[in-house]
Amino acid sequence: MQHGRHGDTPPTLLYVVGRVNQGIRREMRKRLVQWDLSIPEYTALSVLHGRPGLSNAQLARRSMIAPQSMIEVLAGLEDRDLVRRAADPAHARILRAELTDEGHELLEAVQPSVDSIEDQLLAAVPGRQRETTLKVLVRAMDRLASGLDDSASEAE
């Protein structure tokens, strides 16, 4: 389930984001299964397509998960030859990842099915509102990335 809030009172952002996310995940899982891709796998492919050369640690930070979680995803993709990793010439400890040709092909094949989810969700939403929504969420994302403090239980 997700984080919640009441009924007639307007729903909170926390609540709605949780619900929408849950719905999106269900839909994605359903569509990705035929390509034998999990959601984290698809996401990693998608991010690496746009940002080739990210390390495991960088990917993890972007996704707000622990590097230990991300590494499993990456390892799986590497095993399937969808992703290739090579040491940074300037820093042997860092392994920079990028899609293989096969990875690109798969991503291209899957993309439309996933993109159509977003199209359907936003079908009736004017462009301006889409932009506002995206902007607000990106801001929230940044806040979360830089870390919050618990102002409520601090007071003790």
Site for DNA, rule CB under 7 A: 1-2, 22, 25-26, 29, 38-41, 55-58, 63-69, 71-75, 85, 90-95
State the DSSP H helix or E strand holding residue 26, giving kind and residue range, or none if neither.
helix 13-32
Binding mask 75-114 for a second copy (x = CB under 8 A): -------------------------------------xxx
Q: What residue 49 binds from a second copy, DNA, none (CB within 5 to 8 A, per partner kind)?
A: a second copy
Q: Which of the residues 120 through 149 are near a second copy (CB under 8 A)?
A: 120-125, 129-130, 132-141, 143-145, 148-149
Judge contact between 83 and 77, C-beta under 8 A.
yes
The radius of gyration of the chain's CA atoms, rounded to the nearest angstrom, is 18
Is residue 34 classed exposed, middle or buried when 0-12, 13-18 and 19+ CB atoms within 10 A define those classes?
Answer: exposed
Nearest to 71 by CA among 59, 87, 81, 62: 59
Judge contact between 32 and 38, C-beta under 8 A.
yes
Q: What residue 17 binds from DNA, a second copy, none (CB within 5 to 8 A, per partner kind)?
A: a second copy
Q: What residue 86 binds from DNA, a second copy, none (CB within 5 to 8 A, per partner kind)?
A: none
